[in-house]
Amino acid sequence: MFIKNLSYFNFRNLIDGNLEFDKKFNLFLGKNGQGKTSVLESIYFTITGQSFRTKNIKDIIKYEKLKLATYLEYEDKFSEKNIAIKTISNKKEYFYNKKKVTYDEYLGRLNVISFIPEDINLIIGSPMNRRNFFDYEISQGNTSYYIHLKNYNKILKIRNTFFKNKDFSEIFEIYNQKFFEEIVEIVTMRYEYIKKISILLNLNYRKLFDNKSELILTYKNSFGDITKLNKNQIMKKLLEYYKKIKDKEKKYGYSLIGPQKDDFLFLLNGKEAKSFSSQGEKKSIIFALKISEIDMLIKEKSETPIFLIDDISSYFDSIRKESIIKYFENREIQLFLSSTDDLGINSKKFKIFKGDVNG
């Protein structure tokens, strides 16, 4: 799977244009503040409908403009296809093969993995950062997970409204049962994903950065360990925990249980990376995680994702950078990189100056 070309209109500081890409390496060169990251962001936005820099769509629309549009043509193992997004203020419209579709139908048509300096927050940031990250990554490979998560969030809001109104009628109990069912589905899929990717994460970290270390990713849910439990057993454990906290929920007026309370922890050599790992180790952990996502998506969808790396020159030392480049040289993956320096690799090069991209 690879992107053939990309068009963008009113995207941040970029001058409107169309770019043709190489199937293998694409390198965006320029000084800081010229628009390198914005090009990578436009690719990511077109594929996911989201920015990796902001949650506010107005932030990515060119100053004093109201509309934004991006269009991308790609080729998978079957045929050539295209996707596009149009926005007016915060309202987005999605298109697949030039037909308007819902976001549910749009998600996962083309898969992308980004590696940006801000990804360090996956380790040092809040549990919400990690939940949002893993929720999207699991959804890319498993649309049923996305549907369960969307249903759960709707029920969670309704359930909290019942608490606010102190309404614990029969209708509340009906929503409660559905609430528990969605929790079981979500935590089961999260656990299965983390169990698989943790193995890959350790292998990739050792292969790329330190073959003597052990890196483990663990999933910590809000009601206890579910290792080796089936869905019925998880439901039983969940209901037992609910009996202990239901009076507190009624007292506080909101839900104290569910996937929105969960966290994901990185353990390097038995110690939590957030507190004990160096900056270099943290960067390497995140990159190994992103590489492991490639392997997961290939297993789940039999297709390679697109990979984006922003600011590789300043983020990694020369040894780690060479290891990363060598990894991609040996894989059939389309790679997009931004850098202030020429990396000396065989790639299609784009020079960027004041939002103008030439290549």
Residue list for the binding site: 30-37
**Which residues are annotated binding-site positions for ATP?**
30-37
Gap between the terminal Cα atoms of the chain: 22
Q: How many residues does the chain have?
A: 359
Residue 129 has which token pair?
A: 């950062």
CA–CA gap between residue 291 and residue 215 (Å, rounded): 14
Neighbours of 173 (CB within 10 A): 10
Q: Is 254 left (phi over 0), alpha (psi -120 to 50) or beta?
A: beta
Please give the order of strands across the beta sheet that includes 17-20.
17-20, 2-9, 67-75, 80-88, 91-96, 99-101
* Single-letter amino acid code for the residue at 35: G
- Angle formed by the axes of helices 318-329 and 279-301, nearest 10°: 10
